Amino acid sequence: MAHVDQLVGSYRAWASNGVSGAPDWLKDLREGGIARFHHLGFPNMKQEAWRFTSVAPIAEGSFELAKEPARIPTLDEIRPFLLLEAGYRLVFVDGFFQRSLSTPFFDDVQSLAHVVSHRQDLVRQHLGKYVATQDRPFSALNTAFVSDGAFVHVPAKTNIPEPIQLLFLASGTKPVVAHPRNLVVIEREARASIVETYAALGDHSYWTNAVTEIVVGDGARADHYRVQRESDRAYHVATSQSHQGRDSTLNLHFVAFGGALARHDIGAVMAGPGGTLILNGLYLLAGAQHADHHTTIDHAADHCASHEYFNGVLDDKARGVFTGRIIVRPGAQKTDSKQTNNNLLLSGHAHADSQPQLEIYADDVKCTHGSTVGPLDPRALFYLRSRGVGEDDARRLLTYGFAAEILGRMEIAPLRAQLDAIVRGRLAE
C-alpha cells in the first residue's frame, strides 16, 4: 500500500504545482482518476483479469514521475526507432513532446498538452470517454496524470495518405514513470494510418503507463499499428481502447518485442452496425520476459465482423498470456466473430496461457475461437527436411512463419519490411 500512497502523494504535489492552471473539466477528470486509483490500488493475482501476471515489480518499485526529459536525443539517435521515413511524426521523450524532433505539424496532429488549451471542446468531447477506469487501476492512474501525449484529429471526409508516426522514447537513465495519453479521432468517412512506437534509448529500468483512445467515426477507416520495443528492463503497462461507428473499418496491429514485464489491455467497442475490425497481434519474447495481452471485443451493434489473430513466439523462460474476451450484446445479430491465438514454445521452459472468454447474448451469430500452445510441428519440420532444407534452417523458417503470418496482414509495405527485419534479427540471436 505504501506505494499507492506514494503515487497519490506525488499526484497531489503535481496537481497543486505545475499543472494547477488546467481547466476545471480536466482537473475533474484527473481527480476522478486518482480517486479511482486510490480506491482500487494495484491489482493482485487473486483477481481474474490478473491471474497470470504479477505487477509486484511495479507496485513495490520506486518510480519517480518524470518532471522533464532526462536528456534530449539528437535526430540521428532517434532514427533507428522510426519505422517509416515519410509522413508526419510526433516524438515524445519520457512522456514530453519534443517539438525539435517532430516534423512540422498543424492543429490536427499535435501534442495533447497543446490542444487541451487550444481546442478544448474537441478534446473534452472525447478524452476519457472511451477507456474504462472503473475497475482498471492503471488507466485510472494514467487519467490522473493526463497531461501530454499525441493528439490526432482527421476531419470528416479527409484522407491522410501518409502514416502518422507517434514515437515514445524513454531516455532510460533513471527509474522514472511516464503516463503518455493519446487521443486519435478519425471523423466520419475519413481515413488515416497511425504508427505508435514505444522504445528506449538507455537500458535502465523505467515504467511506462500509456493509454490510447481511438475513435473511428461512421464510414471511416483507421489502420493503427502499435510497436512495443521497450528495453528488456522496462515495465510497460498500456491500454488501447477503440470505439467504432456505423460501417467503419478499424485494423489494429500490435507487436510486442520488449519489456521485462508488459501488460496490454486492448478494448474494442463496435458501437454502430456494419463495422469491421481486425485485431492482429504478435508477441515475440525471450529470456525472462513476460507479456500479457488482455483483449475485449464488445459487439454492441448488429452486423459487425471482428477477426482477431494473435501469435506468440516464446523462447527461453519467457511467458506469454493471452485472454480473448468477446462480448456479443443482446440485439447484436449477424455478428461474425473469429478469434485465434497460437503460441509457439521454442524451449521447454517457455510457457503460454491462452484463454478465450465468449459471452454471447444474441442468437443469430457466428462466433468461433481456437487456440494452440506447443512446440514446432514435427510434421512440418519433416516436410521441410524432406525437401532438402537443413534442420536448423527448417526450425528458423517455421518459427519465422509464425511471426510472418501476423506481419503479412499489415498493408504498409515499408513498415512491414522494417518489422520483418526486426523479427529476423531477434530470431537469429
SS (H, E, C) the chain: CHHHHHHHHHHHHHHHCCCCCCCHHHHHHHHHHHHHHHHHCCCCCCCHHHCCCCCHHHHCCCCEECCCCCCCCCHHHHHHHCCCCCCCEEEEECCEECHHHCCCCECCEEEHHHHHHHCHHHHHHHCCCCCCCCCCHHHHHHHHCCCCCEEEEECCCCECCCCEEEEEEECCCCCEEECCEEEEEECCCCEEEEEEEEEECCCCCCEEEEEEEEEECCCCEEEEEEEEECCCCCEEEEEEEEEECCCCEEEEEEEECCCCEEEEEEEEEECCCCCEEEEEEEEEECCCCEEEEEEEEEECCCCCEEEEEEEEEECCCCEEEEEEEEEECCCCCCCEEEEEEEEEECCCCCEEEEEEEEEECCCCCEEEEEEEEECCCHHHHHHHHCCCCCHHHHHHHHHHHHHHHHHCCCCCHHHHHHHHHHHHHHHHC
> Closer CB to another protein, residue 327 or residue 406?
406
CB of 375 to another protein, least distance (A): 14
Distance CA 37, CA 44 (A): 14
Query: Residues 310-349: x/- map of binding to another protein (CB under 8 A)?
Result: --------------------------------x-------
User: Binder to another protein among 8, 15, 122, 380 (CB under 8 A)?
Assistant: 380
> Considering the rule CB under 8 A, would residue 385 count as an interface residue with another protein?
yes
Residue 11 in grid coordinates: 499526484
> Considering the rule CB under 8 A, would residue 408 count as an interface residue with another protein?
yes
Size of the site for another protein (CB under 8 A): 27
Cα torsion through 199, 236, 150, 14, rounded to 10 = -120
User: Binder to another protein among 20, 85, 363, 379 (CB under 8 A)?
Assistant: 379
CB of 342 to another protein, least distance (A): 8
CB of 380 to another protein, least distance (A): 5
> Considering the rule CB under 8 A, would residue 405 count as an interface residue with another protein?
yes
CB of 406 to another protein, least distance (A): 8
> Considering the rule CB under 8 A, would residue 411 count as an interface residue with another protein?
no
> Closer CB to another protein, residue 186 or residue 394?
394
> Considering the rule CB under 8 A, would residue 375 count as an interface residue with another protein?
no
> Considering the rule CB under 8 A, would residue 278 count as an interface residue with another protein?
no
> Closer CB to another protein, residue 122 or residue 398?
398
User: Binder to another protein among 391, 411, 421, 424 (CB under 8 A)?
Assistant: 391
> Considering the rule CB under 8 A, would residue 382 count as an interface residue with another protein?
yes
Stretch that binds another protein, among 128-136, 234-242, 326-334, 386-394 (CB under 8 A): 386-394
> Closer CB to another protein, residue 363 or residue 392?
392
> Closer CB to another protein, residue 109 or residue 352?
352
Which residues 6+ apart lie within 8 Å of 394 measured at CB?
381, 384, 385
The answer to whether residues 207 and 58 touch, using CB atoms and an 8 Å cutoff, is yes
CB of 422 to another protein, least distance (A): 15
Cα torsion through 216, 183, 227, 259, rounded to 10 = -140
User: Binder to another protein among 61, 389, 418, 426 (CB under 8 A)?
Assistant: 389
User: Binder to another protein among 21, 104, 161, 378 (CB under 8 A)?
Assistant: 378
How large is the C-alpha radius of gyration of the chain?
Answer: 21
Stretch that binds another protein, among 93-101, 180-188, 227-235, 401-409 (CB under 8 A): 401-409
CB of 347 to another protein, least distance (A): 20
> Closer CB to another protein, residue 27 or residue 409?
409
Stretch that binds another protein, among 6-14, 39-47, 331-339, 391-399 (CB under 8 A): 391-399
Residue 143 in grid coordinates: 487519467
The answer to whether residues 177 and 64 touch, using CB atoms and an 8 Å cutoff, is yes
CB of 309 to another protein, least distance (A): 10
Residues across the chain: 429
> Considering the rule CB under 8 A, would residue 424 count as an interface residue with another protein?
no
CB of 360 to another protein, least distance (A): 26
CB of 394 to another protein, least distance (A): 8
CB of 418 to another protein, least distance (A): 17
> Considering the rule CB under 8 A, would residue 376 count as an interface residue with another protein?
no
Please report, as ranges, the residues that interact with another protein according to CB under 8 A.
342, 377-380, 382-391, 393-394, 397-398, 400-406, 408
